[in-house]
Structure 1
Amino acid sequence: MRIGEIAALAGVTPRAVRHYHHLGLLPEPERLPNGYRDYGVRHAVSLARIRRLTELGLGLPEVRDVLADDEGRELAEVLEELDADLARQEAAIGERRAQLRVLLDQARQGTLPAEGPLSPGLTELLSAFSPSGSATAAKDREHLTLIDSLAAPEERDRLIAALRPLAADPELTARVKELYVRLDDLADASPDDPRIRPLADEFAASVPEAVVDLFGGASEATRDHPYGEALLADFAPAQEAVVRRLMERLADRARGNQ
């Protein structure tokens, strides 16, 4: 058989056959006097086996190891690893589909947050606590959506669990909304405005203890991190001063909890 014929028989391309020769997966056949390769049944069987293994998900280096093991021990080990990997993928797909169903329900009901698809936990939190009309509260929502997208799932879940008491306490929620209004009022104020210190202190006192334990100890490092600097630069000067003092107060509370 010529290369095109054996490729068609095995359901691959002639280019793939040449690539398998190059990698040492498929032995080179003898050449005819005219220089063409002369493939036999043994080559067709090997080529079909390579195709089956790659269709199972094995990489070509793994296929090489399997073909080199005449007793099949390597194949059993590789297939076990492949099965475990597929099980992990199946679990991950199941989790993503569950999240997708929640998002679909929200989209159909018109309750999907304006920030776009978020984790169910953060969507619930933002729905329960959403200071409308506050520019600085909107910035905090943006920061939370960024964390929701970039943080590891376990870190995201801890954050949402720590913030949940804020949304569950109507009195605390009302107080924080009032603090956001006062923070908005500092948009055009100078960095030495006398309202800065008391506002930051009241904000710090309103932060749930679980949030302090989660983030307070990292407040000082956050200010020196590029994201921390970008976060602060997102506020007007007087508002930035409030946030800086708030970070300091949270760090003090976190050290006191240790």
Structure 2
Amino acid sequence: MRIGELAALLGVSTRTVRYYHHQGVLPEPPRLANGYREYGMRDAVALARVRRLVELGLSLDEARDVIAEDRSRELPEILAEIDADLAAQEREIHLRRARLAEVLARAEDGTLGPDDTASPDLVAFLRVVDVPASTSAAWDRDLLVLVDSMSAAPDRERTLTMLDALAADPAAAEHGQEFYRRLDELADAEPGDPRVAPLAESLADYSVEHVLHDLRPGPGWDPQQLEPFLEGLAPAQAEVVRHATRLIAARLNDPKMQST
């Protein structure tokens, strides 16, 4: 197929395809005897991969490295990876729609007004733990606001009581800021970075001992539900949260803890 057909297939302009060629991100096929360039299935897959990597926030330099590695891989392997990515996106969309359905139900039954925002207690807590330069803190604030807006009334009251106690504790605020600082340091790290596990364990230890000690996750609670909230974090940062969440769930469900 010609460049126009390739562009139309992926929903981009021919100018975009040529730009990726110019930047060295997308391999450019050689011209045929008739002067045209002929694009095949591997070119279409490569363009789809570039578009997805850009959506995920990778720079063109980073995308170039991924596409270069793809050249040494078999096409079925790349397609299987794309399929897994689409399956993950599908799960995330289902989770988001489920959350949206809860918010919509509250809006329809009158418990959530059009001008409502996070509860005053939560806003006060967020001001206390605010670290303006921290992208990790900004992510955490977004997560807390969403959790607050979607919690059932009894759970929200319990959460706000916990947050109020934390806001009144200078040591807790100091610990939170230190956690954000260490998490921000992992912005350019890989998930296997040696700093990931110690930070996750430290967060889990502190959370169980000082924050979540009265919480008992129900049998249907699934740490996987956190995944859509990790999109804004770097790979190593997301792995810290995943690891800490698994540790917290295991410890809170430990019969020895429940008997104390």
Give the TM-score of the pair, scaled to structure 1. Answer: 0.50
Q: Relative contact order, CA 8 A, sep 6+: which one is greater? A: 2
Q: Which has the larger radius of gyration?
A: 1
Give the TM-score of the pair, scaled to structure 2. Answer: 0.49
Task: Say which structure is richer in helix.
Answer: 1
